[in-house]
Structure 1
Amino acid sequence: MAQIEQFAEPAVLARPHRWPPGDGIGVFHDVRLAVAPEAVPAGTLEARLAERYLSALGVADAGGRAPECRRPLVQYRCHTGVRPVQFALAGLHAHVAHDLVLAVEDTCRARDCEPAALEGEFERVGDLLGLLEERIHDELMPGPDLLRIADPLTHLVSTWSLERAREAAWSAALVLWQLRELPALAEEFTQRNDAGAGLVVRFLLTPCR
């Protein structure tokens, strides 16, 4: 624990949990953990993204009221008609559309800087998310034989784009930053952004079998 002021240790992502095999929330968490770097400097956008994710994860794991974008994941987490790749992509969308937006705001407030100063870090986080998406497709997407039977899954997965989700997250973060002196409007915007992300998550979790 001596390094806690210098580094946000991704090892905390591996803390013990009670998720049974196949649990939808655990599916995304395992993939997220697999691409986490060994150490991340505290205060960076990447570290604050992990903090936002862990906060939402802790609420869901404790049975609390999770952000709206994660409520479908909680609701369907054990649904046998939802495939692991769907859980993983739904978790990734919530991570980008909700956690990343708020992480940008957190970082700007902590450094008293404009979002433009974080563009380089945002791109590096984007590279990490790209690795995460690749791992999801490589490890969780069914093979060609199964996909001939599960064509709806192919259609569902192909409709989601990480690049578009990242672009939307950056735009949302810019708007939220502009609203920082108007807390009521900022809160309303945050809630609406969360709700919009929840609609996409729910769509990605459409049962395919």
Structure 2
Amino acid sequence: MVHTEGCAAAGVAGIAGRMRELDSRWPARDGVAVFNRVYLAVTEEIGRRIDAGEFPDPRAATVLDVLFAGRYLAAVAAVDTGARPPACWRPLFQYRHHPGIRPFQFALAGVNAHIGHDLALAVVDSCRALECAPADLEDEFDRVGDILALLEERVREELMPGPDLLELADPLTHLAGAWSLDRARDAAWSAARVLWRIRDLAPLADEFTERMDLGVGLVGRCLLTPWS
């Protein structure tokens, strides 16, 4: 656990405010908007729990959450300015208006990009900001991860068709079971530890990050396969 003074919970509030602003200007059916809505709910929950003192080190949790969410918002900003976002985010932005992709797929592709790629980098960013090692952030990582599980639950509960509409043979049934937040979170933690160990080997760290980005992007493209 990192010992720092004060709590920057206002930083989480600022991130949530930015997500609400995005939600107000995107059409409801926009694929990125679908992900943004469920992520906003989780961000607000993290902010409430930080304020309630549920984290051993509120500042460390806040730094991790803000830097993590900031990577998603940076991808949005890149697209808004005509730049290319990281490869992990490109499928979601490319297919955000495709009529044959269901809301569940959009949300899952966003979760995949954010946890599969952004989370590991956010841990490294946080370690630099807090002058600590990943092991010092493990408690906060686990607690934030437990709350992120709410994101996957929300996606499945609100966006998956009901059992009366979703047949066993429906491809979406297989898609829903093919991706695991727990496995993605474990992989992100391992990647963060590797990146921290090779942080002074810039060419190797850059190559590792690029390959991780491309791999997560490939999974995202598969998750966004149109079904109609």
Fold conserved (TM > 0.5)?
A: yes
User: Structure 2: how far apart are the matches of 1:208 and 1:80?
Assistant: 10
Question: 198, 201, 207: which one pairs with 1:179?
Answer: 198
Single out whichever of 15-24 and 197-206 deviates more from structure 2.
15-24
User: Structure 1: how far apart are the matches of 2:111 and 2:63?
Assistant: 20
User: Structure 2: how far apart are the matches of 1:92 and 1:112?
Assistant: 28
Q: How does 1:18-33 map to 2 (within 5 A)?
A: 18-33=25-40
User: Structure 1: how far apart are the matches of 2:76 and 2:119?
Assistant: 14
Tell me the secondary structure at the aligned position of residue 170 of structure 1.
helix
Tell me the secondary structure at the aligned position of residue 104 of structure 1.
helix
**Other-structure match for 2:55:** none
1:7 aligns with 2:10: yes
- Deviation of residue 120 (structure 1)? 0.4
User: Structure 2: how far apart are the matches of 1:67 and 1:119?
Assistant: 26
Q: Is the 8 A contact 2:127 2:134 kept in 1?
A: yes
Q: Deviations over 1:58-78 (max 9, x none)?
A: 213433201000111111111
Could you tell me the percent identity over the aligned residues?
57
Q: Deviations over 1:112-160 (max 9, x none)?
A: 2111111101111111210111100110001112212861110011100
Single out whichever of 147-156 and 189-198 deviates more from structure 2.
147-156
**Other-structure match for 2:68:** 49
Q: Name the Cα RMSD after superposition.
A: 1.9
The change in CA–CA distance for 1:6 and 1:76 in structure 2 (over 3 A counts) is: closer
Tell me the secondary structure at the aligned position of residue 127 of structure 2.
helix
Tell me the secondary structure at the aligned position of residue 37 of structure 1.
helix
**Other-structure match for 1:100:** 119
Single out whichever of 38-47 and 97-106 deviates more from structure 2.
38-47
User: Structure 1: how far apart are the matches of 2:214 and 2:207?
Assistant: 10
Partner AA of 1:14 in structure 2: R
Moved segments of 4+, more than 4 Å: 40-43
Q: How does 1:75-114 map to 2 (within 5 A)?
A: 75-114=94-133
User: Structure 1: how far apart are the matches of 2:225 and 2:32?
Assistant: 15
**Other-structure match for 1:35:** 42
Partner AA of 2:41 in structure 1: A
Q: Is the 8 A contact 1:150 1:208 kept in 2?
A: no
TM-score (norm 2): 0.84
Q: Is the 8 A contact 2:167 2:173 kept in 1?
A: no
User: Structure 1: how far apart are the matches of 2:198 and 2:219?
Assistant: 24
The change in CA–CA distance for 1:141 and 1:114 in structure 2 (over 3 A counts) is: same
1:190 aligns with 2:209: yes
Tell me the secondary structure at the aligned position of residue 36 of structure 1.
helix
User: Structure 1: how far apart are the matches of 2:133 and 2:87?
Assistant: 27
Partner AA of 2:35 in structure 1: F
Single out whichever of 89-98 and 52-61 deviates more from structure 2.
52-61
TM-score (norm 1): 0.91
User: Structure 1: how far apart are the matches of 2:17 and 2:25?
Assistant: 17
